[in-house]
Amino acid sequence: MLKSLQRQKHPLASPAGQIEVLDNYEGINIPSFESKLNELGHSPLRPTGIDIFQINVGKMCNQVCTHCHVDAGPDRKEIMTRETMEQCLHALEGTDISTIDLTGGAPEMNPNFRWFVEELSKLGKKIIVRCNLTIILANPKYNDLPEFFKEHNVNVVSSLPYFTAKRTDAQRGDGVFEKSIKALQMLNDVGYGKDGSELKLDLVYNPAGAFLPGDQLALENQFKRKLLEYDIVFNDLFAITNLPISRFLEYLVKTEKYEDYMEELVNAFNPMAAEGVMCRNTISIGWDGYMYDCDFNQMLELKVNGPQHISEFTESELSQREIILNQHCYGCTAGAGSSCGGTTV
């Protein structure tokens, strides 16, 4: 076990850096992520354009997942207002941005969620909703979400930690697996994930511990075989690396796995993955309208260089910005890479 010579506040901790961890370990040499990119000639890192508008419409959620980098839950009160949603709509008008990615928390818990989806659909953009599945069964008012998603041709992207109850419930709470299976069956019933259907249903896999995800295609094939036992079909599976921030950072610290995990990420650094990181084609908008290079920078309150609020959105200026980097960026460049759309190489 590596020994520490110094204790300090961890720069990635949340909230407000309150977690103390042991840094500057003997025998561990973690170069800055920016220096890694410098070696490749990729620094400063800049966008290739803006193809994806990822909008966090609130941190309220009906679940409290152990790996959640948003630190979402039922007690969170941060909710995007209709005024901020209108500013997002105004910013999108006349742009070539192709995809709107709605996330949370549970985005469906925002009281203006359905209105927002309806307005976004008028723009002719692809709409993704990151649905935790159990929200569909959490309250009768959400039971018709599969039909609502179908009406607006929403691409449903849902997290399912594993195809067994034991591992899923350990990560997301008791009874989550059973409810997730039921919700997936409801989505299938309206046409999602079926051969020949335009209704796309994708799953997200996050590792249950301090390790990198396995091969994405192999995991997808395994999930498809196992879920067929419940008569469930889906389109694609995205394997996403857990980044060392918020609740997952707390887990790493409590289990004394932080330094080992960081070493694993650094040792798995992939130059090809660095070229395809999601911050290069994405803008992330927080519930209060402030803009970030990615969803992870949003949780660390690392606002973009340039115009910082959606009311000041300028596509041309933001497309030329310098992307803000930190040590957590190693998570997106480890192994096959990681993004909200799965592996990058």
Quote the pTM value.
0.90
Question: Taking the alpha carbons of 299, 95, 51, 47 in that order, is the dihedral positive or negative?
Answer: negative
What is the CATH number assigned to the segment(s) 46-332? 3.20.20.70
Q: How do residues 156-178 score in pLDDT, each as one tens digit?
A: 999 998 999 998 888 888 889 99
pLDDT at 23: 38
- One-letter amino acid for residue 68 of the chain: C
DSSP string, 172-188: H-TTHHHHHHHHHHHHH
The answer to whether 55 and 128 have CB atoms below 8 angstroms apart is no
How far apart are alpha carbons 159 and 224 in whole angstroms?
Answer: 14
Q: How confident is the model at residue 74 (pLDDT cuts 50, 70, 90)?
A: confident
For the chain, percent of residues with pLDDT exceeding 90: 76
Maximum separation of any 2 CA atoms in the chain, in Å = 60
β-sheet bridge partners, residue 9: 20
Would you kindly state where each structural domain of the chain is located, as residue ranges? 46-332
Q: How confident is the model at residue 15 (pLDDT cuts 50, 70, 90)?
A: very low
How far apart are alpha carbons 290 and 233 in whole angstroms?
Answer: 37
| Secondary structure class of 90 (helix, strand, coil) | helix
Q: Which residue has the higher pLDDT, 23 or 11?
A: 11
pLDDT at 29: 65
pLDDT at 25: 34
Q: Region 262-277: what's the mean pLDDT?
A: 93
User: Rounded to a whole number, what is the distance in angstroms from the first to the last CA of the chain?
Assistant: 33
pLDDT at 19: 38
pLDDT at 313: 96
Q: Region 29-43: what's the mean pLDDT?
A: 87
